[in-house]
Structure 1
Amino acid sequence: MAKTHTRYVCQECGRVTASYMGKCPQCGSFNSMVEEVIHDEPVSKGGTVRGLTGRSAPRSIGDISSDAEDRIHLPIGEFARVLGGGIVPGSIVLVGGDPGIGKSTLLAQMAMEMAATQRVLYVSGEESERQIKMRAVRLNGQKELPKNLLLVTETNLETIFNHIHEVKPDLLIVDSIQTVYLSNMDSSAGSVSQVRECASQLRELAKTSNISVFVIGHVTKEGTIAGPRVLEHIVDTVLYLEGDRFQVYRLLRSVKNRFGPTSEVGVFEMREGGLEEVTNPSEAFLAERMINAAGSAIAVTMEGTRPILVEIQGLTSPTQFGNARRTANGVDFNRLLLITAVLTRRMGLKLSEQDVFVNVVGGLQI
């Protein structure tokens, strides 16, 4: 008979403790410990061993076929740039970003573009099929919706696998990893154990069936992917969709890529018809700049493999308080403090009595 015991798992960092703690000793988060009931199954001698395949055998590296290295063409050029030139068959990609930044919109556009040549299954745990179609109609304009794009609203991972075996898609999109769950686990969807196990099974699916899997992930208030840190180690590529919600520009940034360069950036503009590529970001960021305006300067920043020209605005104002304020938007706060200290020390500017404001136009982070 299986034995059961209780443990408490931090939903921020995955720390496991035997008793409840109001503050996690590892990450310092408050009220993040969630109770989980663990069933210890008896070990059987004839039991199967979990792995990517049912059986494995060592082979010479020269005997292994390399046909899978051919990438699948992605019509969205900026997206393909960030991935390293296209979609690698059998890869699993994690896309994260703030709520409302455009993650679902970007992957819906990619699904419709890829459905012209591939069979695509879009699994949503957050929206109904009717809501997804409404977005697809808005993004597709007057064009006919692709027949190879299949939609399903489901959160049970076992049921999703049944749909995959029936449909046999070439591309799978899951929105989002925090909503799917395994029924044989007692913890709720979005918990550390559920996110870890669901991601592991999706990885096994991608590697064994050669299906490319795209997974949307929520982020915490600190800007990191919600769930265990091991989630980013499980997947092959980690992408972040960044930008100011009140600005029209979005940046798709690669922070991990096993099949291409990291730190590559794709630039998009949010419009009524969805996210449109910005092939010349420098022109877009400098389009509204006033010539010879006071407090405005042009800086060159390297984003991935291409330089981008951006406008940086600076303003000082006499402080009304005892301590002067330093406000940075798009620039690292510590860098602003360093520049302020250098100007005060070397240039003789009395910035200790001035509030300093620095802004990067377009919502870009440099």
Structure 2
Amino acid sequence: MAKPRTGWRCQQCGYAAPKWLGRCPECGEFGTYVEEVISSAPSGASVAVARKPVRLGDVVASGASRTPTGLPEFDRVLGGGLVRGSLVLLAGEPGIGKSTLLLQAAASLSRGGSSVLYVCGEESAEQVKLRAERIGAADAIMLLPEVDAGAIEATAMAERPDVLIVDSIQTMVDTSLDGVAGSVGQVRACAARLMRLAKSEGMTVIVVGHVTKEGTVAGPRVLEHTVDVVLSFEGDRDHVFRIVRAAKNRFGSVSEIGVFEMGESGLDGVANPSAVLLADRATDVAGSCVLATVEGTRPLLVEVQALVTPTYLQMPRRLAVGVDTARVLQSLAVLERRAGMSFGQHDVYVSVAGGVKIVEPAVDLALAFALISARLDRALPAGTVAFGEIGLTGEVRGVRQTQPRLAEAARMGLGPVFLATPSSGARVPAGARSVASVREIAAIIGG
């Protein structure tokens, strides 16, 4: 019997190579190559059958049928609920609460009359039962402890549930392929089978995916391209808050978020996250400023904190939590060059309170207020709110969705609100103060 041909494939990006490589030339990761058996091509050429195309004007478009999960924050991220025949990927770090969230959603769907099949590949039925009792999940959920993709597909075809939950995609194995569970080939094949199941049977399929140390979904990138919705489950295990963020959604808004609080009975939706995130904020301490940010369509108020202390090291420390370190370094450079502030002999620590991660440029202005306040050791007025982008020349630029940010600050009773000077002679909104450059920030705080 001839020895099967083998090749090497990167488990991060799927790049193939004829021999083992220590570093992947595609994604740059080290030690990610695994040997896989290369399937031989079938003999004979396949005959393709021509199909008649359909005119776009003749296509009957029906609105997407949505089923609310009963969890308002989860439905908000999904765009109103689960779409029939869709494939949803929920990705997050181990132990952050992905299984708990989906078990709560399954229980709520069961109480609403939808049939749910929960496939647990990482836990036994007894372990899932213990979690279900803790969060008060319904007994009507059908449970299937299985990792064989063929058995899962056959069971789903026989039971025909409204919603199929697979926890997780990295534990599924297609026995017709070589390779261990979680490999590139296995994840690709299992995802394709679940996609065919969802589209052909009109079944909503939710799969759990793990993330790497860099925060990306483990497995090939084709997994994210295959699914209809990609949800990122974020949060720090040391904090009680968890955020579900939509990174891709073919049926709704992208970058929408849902905020949850981890409690003894599971995850509870937070209807007013701004009030919760600012509840423990100190109002008479230097280095604190409130940022009015927007996630999807939701305005959110978070506290940006900065600590500036004399350094005893040759190279001062620059640490940031909840905001990109490169953005902090850029802000420090602009403040030194354009506002005359000196940070060269000081350690700088920046944090966004509550475990929230901010990625939009509007954080620049609040970050500058917090840094200058900490450097001068002068506290800002108790309700100071700021948002705006700062350029390398020191100018403050406007950002999108100004009115929702101002409305959220007014609803929480905060002010004054600092923003960029309107262009083209437009008037500054009521209750707001305009800032044109970082020099004005230093003058405002320094008096």
Interval of TM-score (by shorter of Structure 1 and Structure 2): over 0.9
Q: Say whether 1:133 aligns with 2:126.
A: no
Matched residue type, 1:348 = G
Aligned ranges for residues 144-155 of structure 1 at < 5 Å? Answer: 145-147=138-140, 149-155=141-147
Residues 331, 307 of structure 1: alpha-carbon distance in 2 compared, 3 angstrom cutoff: same
Which residue of structure 2 aligns with residue 37 of structure 1? 37
**Separation in 2, partners of 1:206, 1:164:** 10
Q: Which residue of 2 aligns with 1:74?
A: 69
For 1:58-116, what per-residue CA distance to the aligned partner results, in whole angstroms no more than 9, with x for missing partners?
44556555456121122111111111111110000001011111111111111111112
Task: Note the C-alpha offset of 1:165.
Answer: 1.8
Matches within 5 A, 1:98-247: 98-116=93-111, 117-140=113-136, 145-147=138-140, 149-247=141-239
The question of whether the paired residues in 1 share the 8 Å contact of 2:110 and 2:138 is answered with no
Cα deviation for residue 20 of structure 1 reads 1.4
Greater shift, 227-236 or 35-44, is seen at 35-44
* The structure with more radius of gyration: 2
Cα pair distance change 1:47/1:151, threshold 3 Å: farther
Could you tell me which residue of structure 2 aligns to residue 297 of structure 1?
Answer: 289
Q: Deviations over 1:38-62 (max 9, x none)?
A: 231423567899xxxxx97644556
Cα shift readout 1:12-56 (whole Å, capped 9, x = no counterpart): 11110111112212122222111111231423567899xxxxx97
Query: 2:17 matched to 1:17?
Result: yes
| Shift of residue 349, structure 1, vs aligned partner | 2.4
8 A contact 1:2–1:41 mirrored in 2: no
Residues 56 and 248 of structure 1, relative CA distance in 2, 3 Å threshold: farther
- The 2-side partners of 1:312 and 1:340 are apart by 15
AA aligned to 1:78 is: E
Shift of 1:227: 0.5
Structure 1 CA distance for aligned equivalents of residues 13 and 59 of structure 2: 38
2:267 match: secondary structure: strand
Matches within 5 A, 1:262-273: 262-273=254-265
Residue among 76, 83, 86 paired with 1:91? 86
Q: Deviations over 1:243-297 (max 9, x none)?
A: 1110010110011111111011111111111110011110010011122322211
1:246 maps to a residue whose letter is D
Q: Secondary structure at the match of 2:355?
A: coil
Give a deviation string over 1:281-340, Cα, whole Å, max 9, x none. Answer: 100100111223222111111111121111111111111110111110111111111111
Between the aligned partners of 1:135 and 1:58, the Cα distance in structure 2 is: 50
Letter in 1 for 2:301: L
Aligned length: 357
How far apart are the structure 1 equivalents of 2:2 and 2:160?
Answer: 36
**What fraction of aligned residue pairs are identical, expressed as a percent?**
50
CA-atom RMSD, angstroms?
2.0
8 A contact 1:232–1:238 mirrored in 2:
yes
SS of structure 1 residue aligned to 2:195: helix
Q: How far apart are the structure 2 equivalents of 1:320 and 1:364?
A: 30
2:251 aligned counterpart, secondary structure: coil
Partners of 2:260 and 2:33 in 1: CA distance? 38
- Aligned ranges 1:304-319 → 2 under 5 Å: 304-319=296-311
- Give the Cα separation in 2 of the matches to 1:162 and 1:48: 28
Match of 2:390 in 1: none
CA distance in structure 2 between the partners assigned to 1:174 and 1:235 by the alignment: 14
Q: 2:352 aligns with which of 345, 349, 360?
A: 360
Q: Secondary structure in 2 aligned to 1:115?
A: helix
AA aligned opposite 1:295: G
CA distance in 1, matches of 2:316, 2:15: 40
Aligned partners of 1:106, 1:58: CA distance in 2, in Å? 42
Distance 1:257 1:248 in 2: 26
The verdict on how the C-alpha distance between 1:48 and 1:187 changes in structure 2, with shifts beyond 3 A counting, is farther
Which runs of 5 or more structure 2 residues have no equivalent in the other structure?
Answer: 359-447
Partner SS, residue 333 of structure 2: helix
Higher relative contact order, structure no. (Cα contacts within 8 Å, ≥ 6 residues apart): 1
CA distance in structure 1 between the partners assigned to 2:143 and 2:63 by the alignment: 27
Give the deviation of 1:345 after TM superposition: 2.1
Q: Give 3-state SS (helix, strand or coil) of 1:340's partner.
A: helix
Letter in 2 for 1:69: A
Gaps of 5+ in 1: 50-54
- TM-score, normalization by structure 2: 0.76
Change (3 A) 1:61 1:115: farther
